[in-house]
Amino acid sequence: MSYLDTTPFKGSSLSEQQSPLVSFEIDPFELDVFDPETDEAENVPITEYDLVSTPNDFNVLTIQNFLETGAVKVPKYQRNFVWDRPRASKLIESLILGLPVPQVFLYEEARNSFQIIDGQQRLMSIYFFMVGRFPRKAAKPRLRDFWGIQGAIPNSVLQNDELFEPFKLALPTPDGSPMNPLHGAKYETLGDKQIQLGMRTLRNVIIKQVNPEGRGAVYEIFNRLNTTGVNLTPQEIRMSLADSALMERIIDLNLSENWRRLIGAATPDPKLKDIEIILRALAMADDSGSYKPSMVRFLNRYADRTRKYDRTDVDSRARFFEGFIADVSKVDRSVFLISGRFSVPVFEAIYAAYWQGGGGSVLNEVTLRTLMEDPGFVSATSDKTTDTKNVGERIKLARQHLFGAW
């Protein structure tokens, strides 16, 4: 798949701008949407979880083996590897010297299958040093594409000098101070310290959710472990933990020209808000009847459930979404705006109603504008939008306007 660079839209109507596919590079633009009360998750009591947490001290050689065989997975949608060589070098130095390093959290998905919850930067630094290659800046955003089914990055990729450089420890010292004896060392040149490093251990806490069914606890843990430093949005966490064929397909749907024009943004949102809007529309279409606040946890549950979707499930939902977006591309996008901003509650309700009605209704501008003028719909899409009653009410009214009596 190739991505082309483009610039953000300047116009507001569908006919004013046309756009090619767009890049995932970080952009100063962030999607401007009308989506009130979506950050209320912390105000809602969470479920009590029954967890089993098992501490294990894996040595460095074992960690390398786990990553190379895929027993410990670096999720495809984890945030990029961001450490530079000096920071990764300090970790390796600490391990060689026997100094303590922060523990790693893994989630047990199945027997001998673990997903990283926290500690990706540390584990990948160890892996890169052991294989003797460190990713160059241009390669870091692409690392998620290199990890194979078995886990290891193919040797042909590692040896590409445009993507990777030799991993020599970067441990410079101030002028006048003795040179750090490990500065410039590679794994293959460590001598006796090679065995010393290989036998050093790193504490890994393996977590398994016993009750209730599902993986709700892993979202809560990941969120709390990422509340310091660079905070991740709920959708970034979702993409890290609920890796699935549907999530991958949503990334493709997010590049659709019709979709980019509808939301009024040529460049995908760096915080994944546009991807979350698609996920939210699919979740409401599939399962609005079970919705209850918070919206964040509702989407977490749905995202986790989609990991079980087979190709038929994914294809049917993707084709329906594409067809819907193609139909609404013929309507002025102002139908989906509140106060000049793309309204997530409006879009979500219309899409869910269209899916639940089996499609077939003509999505014409007269019908949609009549819906937007319905007092009940206005209230349900502008005030307390994540309230269970309002979620159900706006979808019900959208069905009535699109399909008649329901």
The helix (run of H) or strand (run of E) holding residue 370 is helix 365-372
Contact in structure between 221 and 207 (CB atoms under 8 Å)? yes
Given this model, what pLDDT does residue 139 score?
84
The helix (run of H) or strand (run of E) holding residue 315 is helix 311-328
Quote the tokens at residue 167: 């991993």
Q: Coil, helix or strand for 54?
A: strand
392 vs 390: CA distance, rounded Å: 5
The per-residue b/e assignment along 170-201, b for 16 or more CB within 10 angstroms, e otherwise, is bbeeeeeeeeeebeebebeebeeebeebbebe
Closest C-alpha to 79, from 45, 119, 133, 109: 119
DSSP string, 91-130: HHHHHHHT-----EEEEEEETTEEEEEE-HHHHHHHHHHH
Contact in structure between 157 and 163 (CB atoms under 8 Å)? yes
DSSP string, 264-312: T-SSPPTT-HHHHHHHHHHHHHHHGGG--S-HHHHHHHHHHHGGG--HH
Given this model, what pLDDT does residue 182 score?
95
Digits of tens for pLDDT over the chain (406 positions)? 322 333 333 333 333 333 333 333 333 345 789 887 654 444 555 667 788 889 999 999 999 999 999 899 876 545 568 899 999 999 999 999 999 999 998 988 888 888 888 888 999 999 999 999 999 988 887 787 777 666 788 999 999 999 999 999 999 888 778 899 999 999 999 999 999 999 999 999 998 887 777 676 777 776 666 544 456 678 877 876 677 889 989 999 999 999 999 999 988 887 889 999 999 999 999 999 999 988 988 998 999 899 899 999 999 999 999 999 999 999 999 999 999 999 999 999 999 999 999 987 678 999 999 999 999 999 999 989 999 999 999 999 999 999 986 5
Strands (E), 113-200: 113-118, 133-135, 164-166
103 vs 126: CA distance, rounded Å: 14
Given this model, what pLDDT does residue 150 score?
65
DSSP state of 334: G
Quote the tokens at residue 236: 């970034």
Other Cβ atoms less than 10 A from the Cβ of 313: the count is 14
142 vs 122: CA distance, rounded Å: 18
DSSP-based helix, strand, coil % in the chain, nearest 5: 50, 10, 40
| Annotated domain spans of the chain | 33-44+230-403, 50-211
34 vs 300: CA distance, rounded Å: 21
Instruction: Compute φ and ψ for 66, nearest 5 degrees.
Output: -60, -40
Model pTM score:
0.63
Closest C-alpha to 35, from 288, 381, 298: 381
65 vs 152: CA distance, rounded Å: 9
Closest C-alpha to 299, from 234, 355, 243, 244: 234
Closest C-alpha to 61, from 113, 127, 147: 127
